[in-house]
Amino acid sequence: MSNTAGKYDFGMIGLGTMGRNLLLNMGDHGVAGAGYDKDASKGQLLEEEDKNGNLKGFSDVNEFVGSLKSPRAIMMLVPAGKIVDSVIEDLLPLLDKGDILIDGGNSHFTDTDRRVAYLETKGFHFFGMGVSGGEEGARRGPSMMPGGDKEAYNVMKPILEAIAAKVDGVPCVTYIGPGASGHFVKMVHNGIEYGLMQLISETYEVMKKGLQMDDEAIGKIFTQWNEGRLQSFLMEITSDIFQYKEQGSDQLLLDNIKDEARAKGTGKWTSQVAMDLESPIPTIDAAVEMRDLSKYKALRVQLSQIYSVNDAPLSVDRDSFLVELEQAFYFTMIMSYAQGMHLLSKASSEYKYGLHLAEIAKIWRGGCIIRSGFLNEIFTAYEKDNNLQHLLLDEGVQKLTVENVPGIRSVLSKAITAGIAMPAYAASLGYFDNLRNKQMPSNLIQAQRDYFGAHTYELIGKEGVFHTKWGEKSISIKGSGVKEKQ
């Protein structure tokens, strides 16, 4: 595309790190783009960094909109929430019916559903698009998850495919589905990301406290793992973190960072909707909870002085334990992805998204934060059967899971005995052990619920819903008037 008669092909609202870098990426691919930000210095920075002469910054919204070709295509990359609605309302009087709006931020999927319906009544095309890859991904090639108005996506498809990350020459972008499906998939992506980050941090702690390894040795392990089957973006950056020292310092920057984790909410959203859909994701839940728990620093310090902490090393052979730890991490990684994919499967059915899970796994293989070698296994599993009920039913994944179970059991038992917390590891194993448990103890929960609240239960081999007056030892079929003596 080119800038014809002074008109630009594409507009970007919000020239922060992500918006500016995505627009620079487009400029590199020949897209004539206009960027708008109230802060004029951000538009100036955009023009300074543009080496192709394809981009222009604006600080006046009327001039920005007027600079775009019709029908206009505008992406918003602004903070999620009310700001998105405010930007939309400011834009609408300046737009014409048939123009395209794209929300590229991390909006909650219910907000996107509302905006889809609202803008359709106004005669505008709209779709929400998850964008993953951070600053570098936006600049060099992100993974993108557009969902909503398919007609609008098809108009934007050439640009999006041009700027996306490529794996084996295939762009890491695909049409996800109707409504808010794009933002929903990005939300679950972020939930998996939470899980993997917590698992890596627990791995770090067991090496540091349990094996009492120094930073250099820990960094070498992460580097070694990233060169093998645990290869992933998160493992790669963790390896880099363990090599970074500020100029003039003799210790890692990591050792000076507070142990209080922040979050923007997408992990919490994933946990909340998973509970609504009754799709358990305990590894991701544990990751969200541990970020929250980390914020109670003063309380943690106080309690550490009351309850003794065992600082003695694990009584293990280090080399053998590290082999088990690699197996354990691989197992927990499988569980984190499996939980996320199962949630996507449930949402696809519940919200009529019609998700193609193989395509989602395929576009996650490059550009995004959770890209990893294991995504090839996930892609293969769902390419064989897009209706696969659960990732753990795939034969290839079954083999990998069974091979690594001994590692997780050994690592967890030793860490728990030593008082080293590994909640996401434990949640992963608990998820697996109960998912393969054909007789859970939930029958007792049903009996308890019926005892104190007359909530009823069902019986094995008998039709009907039952309630017992437990003190009288009698059973009745609810609403039938039929009673049976025990």
Distances (CA, A) of 182 to 130, 152, 347, 355, 357: 6, 14, 12, 10, 13
What are the DSSP calls for 384-443, one per residue? H-TT-S-GGGSHHHHHHHHHHHHHHHHHHHHHHHTT---HHHHHHHHHHHHHT-SS-THH
The secondary structure element, H or E, covering residue 74 is strand 73-76
| CA 4/CA 99 separation, integer angstroms | 18
Helix, strand, coil distribution of the chain in percent, nearest 5: 55, 10, 35
Among residues 69, 193, 209, 414, the one annotated as catalytic is: 193
Among residues 56, 186, 362, 414, the one annotated as catalytic is: 186
Q: What is the side-by-side order of every strand in the sheet holding 10-13? A: 55-58, 33-36, 10-13, 73-76, 100-103, 125-132, 143-148
3-state secondary structure of 83: helix
3-state secondary structure of 381: helix
How many CA atoms, within 13 angstroms, populate the side-chain half-sphere of residue 186?
Answer: 31
Picking from 51, 38, 236, 268, the residue whose alpha carbon sits closest to that of residue 136 is 236
| CA 381/CA 465 separation, integer angstroms | 39
| 352 carries an active-site annotation | no
| 193 carries an active-site annotation | yes
How long a stretch of residues is the chain? 486
Picking from 161, 165, 172, 157, the residue whose alpha carbon sits closest to that of residue 141 is 165
Residue positions annotated with a catalytic role: 186, 193
